[in-house]
Structure formats: structure tokens, C-alpha cells
A and B are shown apart, each in its own frame.
Chain A
Amino acid sequence: MTAKNRFTVVGRPLPKIDAWAKVTGETRYADDLVMPRMAYGKLLRSAHAHALITGIDTTRARALPGVFGVITGADLPRVKFGILPVSQDEEALCVEKVRMVGDAVAAVAAVDEETAERACELIEVDYEPLPALMSIEASLAHPEVRIHEYGDGPNVHKNVSLQFGDVDAAFAGAHLVREDVFYFEGNTHLPMEQHAAVAHWGPDGKLTLWSSTQTPHYVHRLLAKILDVPGAHIRVIATPVGGGFGGKLDPFAHEIAACKLSQLTGRPVKIALTREEVFYVHRGRHPVLMWIKTGFTKQGDITGCHLKTWLDGGAYGSYGVASTFYTGVINPVTYKMPVYKFEGARVFTNKPPCGPKRGHGTPQPRFALECQLDKAAEQLGLDPADMRRRIVADPFTKTANHLTVTTIGLGECIDKVVEASGWRDKRAAFAKGVVTGDRTIGERTRKGIGIACSAYMTGAGTAIYWNSMPHSGVILRADRSGGVSILCGATDIGQGSDSILAYLPAEVLGLDPKDIHVHPADTSLTPVDLGSYSSRVTLMCGVAAIQAATRLRRAIADAVAKKLAVEPDAIAFREGMVGVPDHWEKAVPFAQAVELGEALHGVLAFTGSYAPPKRAGKFKGGGVGPSPCYSYSACVVELTVDEETAAIHLDDVWIAHDIGRALNPLLVEGQVEGSIYMGIGEALMEEQVFRHDLHKAPSMLDYKSPTTLETPPIHTMLVETDDPEGPFGAKEAGQGPLLPVIPAIANAIYHAVGVRVDEVPITPDKVLKGLDLKRQGKTPRIGPERIPLFTFKEALAVESAFGQPLDAIAVRPFADEDREDRPRG
């Protein structure tokens, strides 16, 4: 039997378990919830980017008929909060100061939304404006204007510096050393569903919050702190999320205000954000300026790399400390990089706060490195695909910065995209302006083909708050009917985590996924899962589900073995039956097996727990970057550029992704295609930019994102490496594939028209400028020309761990001793 067909559920392109509800309109998102006596809430938001609040008068709003309650920050406990313990800098309703346009200062609950909105207009807020700092340069140039009183310097939220080996020696020994500067503009998640929350604070003093959140557990923890209410009296239920991408990972003002207003009015309160509010709530991609210096041998090997990043963090911390590390720490995972130095700084500005968006902090440096590799390959006279193939990192080793890497399918990924795209022929033909295939190139158009690769983590190795508990847990209960219920805190944001929670127990127990009842994301029912971020859910809840199912399987096997008078090890589970393979005629239906089990053991309910292996590097900052395993992607883009208008048309995208194992290839492809799409938007059009202190495009018409017409055919190929850390070998798919498409587009544009746009998004006006420079005989490069005057911290010097074999035994807490992750039989 081959590895593949030992599975019955895993590897099959099954519909998601919630697909039927989604195609009939039955799925109830947060804003679809309606309760008797429910009030509608609205937030009053600041129109100032930076100002002191000198007075708030709510008298007129309270007097408006139909208003049930009005609150300001004075009605909430005076406590600041934030998703990261090190950045407790937010208030649900600002009391003394606003730091961005869109900061909430008051909230109203009323009979309907319109009345609530009118009441907000009647609230009088007196502001004393402060200078607004709207760029990294402005914030660094004006230390006398402080956005926050904490951090690593005036308006500097975080300043980090890590060095692994001697970069100067690495550059001295290089044949070619390149220094390049890149800029990646910020952009936002733009989920189709606007955030919404419904709170019900009962007369018994117990609070329930239904919210479109990606992380009910963190919201639960933080609500207890923010509202100063015992966590035991709070229940948070994540409703099905209509798109997250990282945008629904913080506790938000509307959630907190809905809770407080519900307590005050004695009614359920719903607050749903408008699209404009969603743009200001943000927490999206950081704008990042990057300086990168890399040494290469003649053959294209990297001798060492030094990266500096400056992040425009916006007005609050959010996940920013993690984002800052992520602009540096994942870089050495893709290629052999023996020596590495990383310096990063996150700067506060008076803009909506940035945070985690799909790829969290890594697409920006990935763009920089992959474009620089392309430039180096050209200088060295190497084919960019061959050069990358040569320098792919070695599996089961450590990186310079002490990350443990397990399986690596990147070499095969490169081979697949090179082959499928016709890379070699097209690379040569397009360079000569020759047409291949049936596409024609007009007089004004040029074709190009570009490549880039990437790696991404499958789950963060450490939780957001330091603890030794599971990152994901499940409770699995077998019912006498033969059905099995699984309870898990995981949150389905469309990626299919509910389905994974059905597939894996079904695989272990020989059942149909339909036999599994999934109960997710309810803090009073489900064991904690930390949330849908860092591509952690399939791996972590998956391994926990397998553990619980394996424990259930053992209990049932004991009972059936007793009845059949055989050893428990002889028992197999398949097609809803339990028995001995050689005497299958005596096998009993699963429901009967459960009855035998329950008679022997009592109630059949088992837990599964997962925490990542403890592999963090033993240095300060070593906790960001470790992951159980890393996914790999290679991407080739073919495109056409009109030399007169600089219109860019994507013809085809080929992507090969090392998924470890595709638990459901249909869902993996969907994640890959969605990632490519989102990367295309970032590469060519999406930008969260400001005119003075206002968002330039806070609407879906003005904020350009790709439609069906701009999204090219995407050819997805999956590579399976069967990673020992993943559930049945699976790694992540939801974020990694976004990374390579952006630099692949930049590299293809250069291949087409010889213009280097070292700045994202690559819009036609930038390409046109480059073409003009080319005609004038100047260097056709568009991008940042200088870097800020800024002193990074003294680097923490740590010896490079590059190439070391991984530790013989990585301790994975909660693992069963025999680590029976895979089913027998």
C-alpha cells in the first residue's frame, strides 16, 4: 500500500462541512443575529488625528427620544489594554487623548441605527489639537511630540537588533555584495464582512458576546481585564467570520462598547461597523522601508545577509512587536544563509494601527530579498531559477537564527513551476522579444516572466501571553448513536478549520465526516484554541483532534477486543465498523462499539492537547519565529506590459506549494489561490494611504482590489513532504503562498521592460517613470532613495546555528508517549 491510499478521508477533495449552509444563506454571521429588545449601537469617532480631549458633553444625546444609553471612557474602568502584554496602550473609548482619526470617544445604544447615529452627532467633544505625525520621518524628526509615553525611544515603539555570526567577514569573503533599498506600502485586509458584535449582559451578571473575531480566547481574557469582570462570568462566541486575514485578531472598541451598553441598558446591543470604520480600524499590513545587504559567491551562494527594516506602526501597538520581529526572523528559513544580522524598528504615527495581515511582517522583506536575488543573478550571469534551486536550505537543520526547520519541498516546488510554466524557453524568448505560444505581442507590448520563492511558519511556537498550557485543545465525545461530537475553540474564518475538525477524527475512527458534529469557538463549551492566526489552526487543533480520537479509539478497541476475545491491537476501524480485519464478518457497527465502550469505561469523552515543541533559541527575541514546521512555495508569473501606457496584464501564475500533506486538496488549493489573489492586489494596486490625516480611499470603490478581470489563471501544484510535526504530515497553506507572487511580479516586469520598481504597489505611473528614465539613458529604477537617520540598538550577538542538525529530541508537551499520531489498520 502506498502512503496515500492508507487514508480514507485525508487527501479527498470533500466539500467543507459548512459549505451547504453557506450556499443557501443559512450561515449566521454576527450581523445576522437578532434578539428580542435588541438595541443598536454606534461609536462616535474622532475626526482629529492627534488631540487632547478637554471635554465631552453627552446631555443632548441622552435627551434624544429613542436613545437607551450613552457611554464615554469615564464609564469604563480606567485600564489600558492591547493584544500583546508588552503593548497595553489602547482604550476602547479614549479619555484624555485621541491618536488617530477614527479613535472612538463615546458610544450610544438606541432603538435603531439611525437614532444612534443622530445621537452621536449630538455629543459635543472639545479637542485641543496636537501636531499629527503622519510618517516615520515626521515621527522621528519630532521627538518633542509624543504619541505614547512608552516604547524604545520617542515615538519608537520597538527597536530590535540581532546578529548571528560575523556579517562583515561574510561580506569580505563574497564575490558580489549588493546593497538595495525597498519600500512596501501598507494595505488592508478588506474582509467582505464588516466587523459586528452582539453583547448580552444578563440580569444575572453574566455576559455573552457574539463577535466576528478570529480569536475568541484572547477577547475573553481581555474583556475580563477591560471590563473588570471575572472571566468566569464572560462567554465569548465567535460567529462564522466573513473573512479575516488578520483583521479581526484584536479586541475592538465596538465589542467592548456593546458589552458596556448592554449592561447599562439591560438589553442585547449590536454594533456593526460601516465599511469606512473597517478601513480605520485596520490592523493591516505595515508600510515597511527596507535596506538589505547580501553577499554572494560567484556561484550564487549567499555568504551573509544584513537587513534593516523601519515599520510605520500607526497609532497603537497591536501586534506590532511581533510584526517587527517577523520582518526579520523568517528570512533565513528559505535559503542557505550562514550569517545573518537583523535590525528593525517600529515607529508610532497618527494613523490607524497596523498589525497582522496574511503573512504578518514577512511579505515586505520577502519582496526585498527576492528582488535583490534577481538583481544578483543577473550580475552573476546566473538563471534566477537555477540560482534559487542551488541555495535552497537543507531540511532537518537549524538556521543562522536558531530556527529548527524540518521538511523542505522547495527544490521540488521550483522544479515544478519551472517545468509547468515553460520557464526556460520563455525566459530566453521574451528577452529577445520573441513570441511563444498563441499569445501575440503588439508593437507596444513586451512580455516578461519572473520567479520568486518563500517559506512560512505553520503556527507560532509561543502564545501571545507566556504560559505552559496547550495552544489548542479538543474534547471528543462518542454518542451511543454512533455520532461523535468534537468541541474545539478553533475559529473558522473560511479557511475550513471546522471541516478539519471533522475529517481527522473521522479518519482515525473509520467514520464518515458526516458522523462528526463540530462545535467550535465558544469559550464556555470549547477548550482553548488560541485563534486563527499564524497559520497554526490545522496543525495545532489537528494534532489535538488526532490525539483525542486516538484515545477514544483505544477505549473502544479495548471493549470490542474483549467481546471478540482478541488483543486490542488487532482491532481495526473502517467504514463505520470495528473489528478484526481477518474476521471482518464479526465486526460490529461503530454505534454498537461505542455502547460496548461505554459499558466498559463509562462516558466516552476524551481530550486532546497540543503545544508546539520547545525549540525557541536561548536568547532574547528567540521566541518569535520558531514554528513546528515551515511551508515552502515557488511561484512563476508571466505578464505583459504596454510600453506606452505601462498597463500591466498578468497572463498566468504558476505556484507550487509544499503543503506537507494535503488533508483536503480542494481546501489547500483554495487557500493557495486566495493567497495568490491577495498578493496580486498588494503587488499591483492595494494601498492604505493618507491625504493629510485622512484615509485617501476608505471605500471599496476607491481602495482598488482585484476583480475577476484582474485575477489571472492560477495554476496550483501541491508538493507533499509528509512533515513529522504535522497532523498526518500536513503543513500550512493559508499565508505562505501569498509571499512569492509579489516579487515574482516585480521580477517579471523587469524581465519585460527592464524597469526595476523597488516599491510596492507597482502601479503603471511608476513603470512609466522607469521607462522614461530608460529612454533618457538613466538607471531605470523607481524606489526609495534613502533611509532614515536612525540608531538601532547595539546588536545582541549570538553564534550562528546555521547547518546544525536539529536537536535529537524536541520535547512536545502533552504528546502521548508513543506519539501515535497516525492510525493503525
Chain B
Amino acid sequence: MKVRLRLTVNDEPHEVLVASHKTLLEVLREDLGLTGTKHGCELGECGTCTVLMDGLPVLSCLALPADLEGRRIATVEGMADGGHLHPLQQAFAELGAAQCGYCTPGILLTAQALLRDRPSPTRDEIREALAGNLCRCTGYTKILDAVELAALRMS
């Protein structure tokens, strides 16, 4: 069964007709062509597909149209302000926090939500906030460094 779904993605309104069991991950990637959001398990286990829904991190692989009507979604494609990268994006690039880069969009958005809540988080608070996002390349060290650097630059 298809349902009509209206949602705002990166400040742009969209209206799509999708199967009622289609996940937000699939809607973003397949219907809206926003492939910046990646998938690692499609079971809500790895955090790779994290996007922001009304400012809060959610696993897009678990979000169904029934939850999505009228929501404001933010994906990695919407992080930069025009040609200016978000300080998190800048710091991740500069410090080598993205190796293969596959987990990066989900981690960037989770970190963005953290910094909105806590502009100057401690390293342990960053660890706690990112504990649901697996990364197999970096050992997390440069990711934590980059979030700290971005927080510093934003303050």
C-alpha cells in the first residue's frame, strides 16, 4: 500500500508517494536521491544511517512513513551553509576523522545534535553521544579530536 508523505528535508519541502513500509533511509536514498545517508545494517544496530528528525538523531533505517508526516529531516547534504562547510565537516576533513568515510555522515549529524545541546562537551560526553555510531577505520580518536576542535571553533 502506498501512502502520501510530506516532509521537509534540509529545509526543502517534499511530497512523495511511497510504500507504507518504506524506511526513511530508503525514501532519502531512492526517492529523493540523497545518497549521502549510508546504511550499514538496516536493523538499527550501527548508527551509520543516522539523520536528524526535528533536530534529534534518529536511525533512518527504522523510521517509517507513519512517523514521518510533517517532520523536518536534516541529512549530511544539508550541513554546509551554501559553499561554507559546517565546522564539524571542516574539522573532520582537516584532522583525518574520515577514513573510508562511510560512517562519517551519521557521525557528523549525531555530533551536530550533541553540540546544539552541549556546545562545549567533555571528551567523555562526546564518547557517550557517539557510542551508537560504529566506525571500523579510525579507532574513534580523530573523530573525538574533530568534534572537540569544531566545538572550540563554534564557541
Contacts and interface: CB of A to CB of B under 8 A. Distances in A.
Interface residues of B, number: 56
Given A677-B138, A700-B40, A192 B95 contact: no
Interface in A1-39: 13, 15-16, 18-29, 31-32, 34
A789 B126 CA distance: 52
Interface string B89-121: 110111110111111110010000000000000
B122 interface: no
A700 B134 contact: yes
B1 to A, nearest CB: 13
Contacts of A293: none
Interface string B19-46: 0000000000100011111111111011
A711 interface: yes
A674 B99 contact: yes
B100 A191 contact: yes
Centre residue among B34, B42, B76, B102 by max chain A CB count within 10 A: B102
Contacts of B76: 23-25
Contacts of B94: 15, 19
B93 A19 contact: yes
Interface string A647-686: 0000000000000000000110110011111100000000
Contact of B140 (A18, A24, A193, A711): A711
A194 B95 CA distance: 26
A29 B102 contact: yes
A241 interface: yes
Contacts of B36: 24-26
Contacts of B127: 708-709
Contacts of A699: 41, 43, 45
A194, A241, A495: residue with the most chain B Cβ atoms closer than 10 Å: A194
B38 A193 contact: yes
A190 interface: yes
Contacts of A13: 96
A27 B101 contact: yes
B152 interface: no
A59 interface: no
B136 A240 contact: no
A616 B75 CA distance: 52
A300 interface: no
B17 interface: no
A23 B104 contact: yes
Nearest to A667: B96
Contacts of B60: none
Contact of B77 (A25, A31, A240, A241): A25
Interface of A: 13, 15-16, 18-29, 31-32, 34, 189-194, 240-245, 274-275, 493-496, 666-667, 669-670, 673-678, 699-701, 705, 707-709, 711, 713-714
- Most chain B beta-carbon neighbours within 10 Å: one of A18, A494, A699: A494
Contacts of B80: 24
**Listed residue (A29, A242, A244, A714) with the most chain B CB atoms within 10 angstroms of its CB:** A242
B100 A241 contact: yes
B92 A23 contact: yes
Given A673-B141, A673-B142, A274 B42 contact: yes
A333 B68 CA distance: 58
B41 A275 contact: yes
B140 A15 contact: no
A23 B134 contact: no
B79 interface: yes
A551 B33 CA distance: 44
A670 B80 CA distance: 25
B102 A670 contact: no
B154 to A, nearest CB: 16
Given A15-B96, A670-B138, A711-B140, 8 more contacts: A15-B94, A23-B93, A25-B37, A25-B75, A670-B99, A673-B138, A700-B43, A713-B141
B98 A701 contact: no
Contacts of A26: 36
B11 interface: no
Contacts of A711: 139-141
Contacts of B43: 275, 699-701
Interface string B128-149: 1011111111111111100000
Contact of A243 (B88, B100, B108): B100
6 contacts: A20-B85, A22-B93, A245-B136, A666-B95, A670-B99, A708-B143
Contact of A25 (B96, B105, B128, B132): B105
Contacts of B98: 16, 19, 22-23
A673 B89 CA distance: 21
Q: What 3 A-B pairs come out closest when comparing CB atoms?
A: A25-B36, A494-B100, A22-B101
Given A23-B89, A192-B46, A678-B136, A29 B99 contact: no
Contacts of A714: 139, 141
Contacts of A669: 96, 141-142
A708 B130 contact: yes
Contacts of A677: 138-140
Contacts of B138: 670, 673-674, 677
A673 B135 CA distance: 12
B48 interface: yes
A495 B75 contact: no
A244 B100 CA distance: 9
A494 B101 contact: yes
A707 B135 CA distance: 8
A248 to B, nearest CB: 11
A700 B46 contact: yes
B131 A24 contact: no
A58 to B, nearest CB: 26
B45 A191 contact: no
Contact of B96 (A20, A240, A666): A666
Given A242-B102, A494-B100, A666-B95, A705 B89 contact: no
A241 B137 CA distance: 12
A38 B36 CA distance: 20
B89 A192 contact: no
A709 B128 CA distance: 7
Contacts of A34: 33
Nearest to B141: A673
A766 B89 CA distance: 43
Nearest to B135: A192
B76 to A, nearest CB: 4
A184 B41 CA distance: 27
Nearest to A27: B101
A20 B88 CA distance: 12
B45 A701 contact: yes
A493 B101 CA distance: 9
Nearest to B92: A23
B100 A193 contact: yes
A190 B100 CA distance: 13
